[in-house]
Chain A
Amino acid sequence: MDGAAVIADALGRINRVLHRAMDGVPAETLNKQPAPGSNSMAWLAWHLCRVQDHHISDLLDVPQLWVSDGWHEKFGMAKDESETGTGHTLEQVAALKVDSADLSLGYADAVFERAKQYLATVTPEGLDAEINEPQYTPLPTVGVRLVSVISDNTQHAGQVMYARGMVQGFGWMNV
């Protein structure tokens, strides 16, 4: 099991957590902010997929699925690759709505599927390749970038699980 396979495994677990927390859950539950100003399940899932799509596309040097496959339209948002949710205001957080879990999970499956295809091509040496981002010293490597995606995405997946408990009652996992 090389490094790229470990990363693919971690992303697969994140995808399964999203399905477990969101499959068949009504849109109004997904869109509900569990507390004033807090991130909804829909916002959290969207944001983590945006981060994954952004970084994997960047490593592949191709347009993001967000714009190339029209996901921005399905979410009713602008065709803007820089829109990942980072720095959103309270109003922007509240404005993000999905019409069904299928939308959230459809985007999640699409970005994961492409990440898997990409990772199948990444060699151990490929993980050490430097990324040309001179604002960072030392330059980040492909491996470092992928580690950041796993850490970020797994944390947000955990937040989706917690938010579901808040809107639907704690202990839902053990039912």
Chain B
Amino acid sequence: MSTIELYADTIRRSDADLHRALDDLSTEDLRNQPAGEGSNPIGWLVWHLTRTRDTISASIAGETSIWESGGWGARFGLEGELPRFAPADVHLFDPKDFATLVGYFDAVAEKSLKIVEGLTDADMTRMVEPTIPGRPAQPVKNRLAIILNDNIQHIGQVSYLRGLIRGHGWY
């Protein structure tokens, strides 16, 4: 198993867990805040982890994000500069519906896996410009480590929330 395969396998495996956690959820489930006011709903978590993966993988490939190239801003009604969803207003994020939210995730998942699988070992230490202004440039391997850690934590949170909505032992 090469380093590239290891990243790709970990992402693929975790994405399958996400699909399992999302299976058959309603739009209402995506908006639900079972943990109460200020808590991140499933819809926001999926959007946020997808945005993170989209910007990171686009920065690695030197391409435009799927959010921009695929017109997803318009589909989510979030064109232009994106609001920062603090706990007080995270309930304002509109996941639209299951097909829109999961459609964006699937498009980014497919593209980002292609990007990862197209890398070579020599790419790992190549420096990439920051996606957030003011942050330092990082080597590709650090960017991939963020996808692994941040994204998969959020996938675990989606599973936890599904448990709160659907009851213990759903898996």
Contacts and interface: CB of A to CB of B under 8 A. Distances in A.
A85 interface: no
A155 B6 contact: no
A169 B38 CA distance: 8
Interface residues of A, number: 42
Contacts of A171: 38, 86-87
Nearest to B15: A151
B169 to A, nearest CB: 8
B72 interface: no
A146 to B, nearest CB: 8
A56 B125 CA distance: 28
A148 B141 CA distance: 20
A95 interface: no
A159 B148 CA distance: 15
Given A124-B2, A150-B10, A155 B38 contact: no
B59 interface: no
Interface in B114-171: 124, 141, 145, 148-149, 152-157, 159-161, 163-164, 167-168
Q: Interface on chain A toward B: helix, strand, loop, or mixed SS?
A: helix
B80 interface: no
Interface string B1-19: 1110111011001100100
Contact of A162 (B38, B141, B157): B157
A106 interface: no
Interface of B: 1-3, 5-7, 9-10, 13-14, 17, 34-36, 38-40, 86-87, 124, 141, 145, 148-149, 152-157, 159-161, 163-164, 167-168
12 contacts: A3-B6, A6-B141, A10-B148, A13-B145, A154-B152, A155-B14, A157-B156, A165-B35, A166-B39, A169-B38, A170-B35, A171-B87
Interface of A: 1-3, 6-7, 9-10, 13-14, 17, 34-35, 37-39, 90, 93, 124, 127-128, 141, 143-144, 147-148, 150-151, 154-159, 161-163, 165-166, 169-171, 174
